[in-house]
Chains A and B, each alone.
Chain A
Amino acid sequence: MIRISIDAIVGISLALTLFRLFHGPSVLDRLLGYSSVTGKIVILLAVEGIMGGRPVFINLALIYGVLSFLGIVIIARYIEREV
C-alpha cells in the first residue's frame, strides 16, 4: 500500500517532467527535464531495492546517478562553448 502510493506520486511527477523533456523549446530546457527525470528514476530504483527485496537495485541507483551527473555537466559545458 505504501509502495503503491509512493510509485503513483513519483509517476505523476515523472509525467509532468517528461512533458518538459519532450516539449521544451530550447536544448537547455530538454537538459533540465532530463536532469529531473533521472532524479525520479533514481527514486524508483531505490524503492524497488528497498521495498521489493532486491538490494542490488540500490547499487544500480548509485551508478545511474553518477553517470547522469557526468553526462549533464558535460553536455551543458559543450552547449556553452558552442554558441
Chain B
Amino acid sequence: MNIFSLILIYLGLVAMLIGSVGIARLPDIYSRLQASGASDTVGVILILLGFLLRNGFRFSDSFLGLLVLFFFVTGPIVTHSIAKSAFLSKIEPSGSRDGDEVE
C-alpha cells in the first residue's frame, strides 16, 4: 500500500459515509436518491481504484478493473430506474411548491 492508494481509499470511504448519513436522514425519496446515486458510485469507484494502484500487479487486478468499469456504467442506470419508477408511481416530493407537482 503506497500513499496514493491510501489517499484514494480514504477519500472513497469519506464519500460513502457522507452518502449513508444522507440516505438515513433526508426526508424524501428523491433527495435520498440524489445522496445514494452520487456517493455510492464515487465511493465504490474510488476505493477500487485505490486497490488497483497498490504495489505490484497480479492477475486478479484485471477483474478489479472490470468491476470499476461495471460500477461506472450501472450506478447511474440504477438511480435512473428507481427515480423513473417513483415518478410514474406519483410519489409527491415533500414540501412541493406551485408548479412542481407530479402530473
Contact = CB atoms under 8 A, between A and B. Distances in A.
* Pair from one complex: yes
Contact of B64 (A19, A31, A58, A83): A58
Contacts of B51: 46, 50
A31 B74 CA distance: 15
Contacts of A28: 29, 82, 85-86, 89, 91
Given A42-B44, A55-B58, A65 B70 contact: yes
Nearest to B16: A13
B47 A43 contact: yes
Contacts of A69: 70, 74, 77-78
A49 B85 contact: no
B48 to A, nearest CB: 6
Contacts of A55: 58-60
B67 A65 contact: yes
Interface of A: 2, 6, 9-10, 12-14, 16-17, 19-20, 26, 28-29, 31-33, 35-36, 39-40, 42-43, 46, 49-50, 55, 58-59, 61-62, 65-66, 69, 72-73, 76-77, 79-80, 83
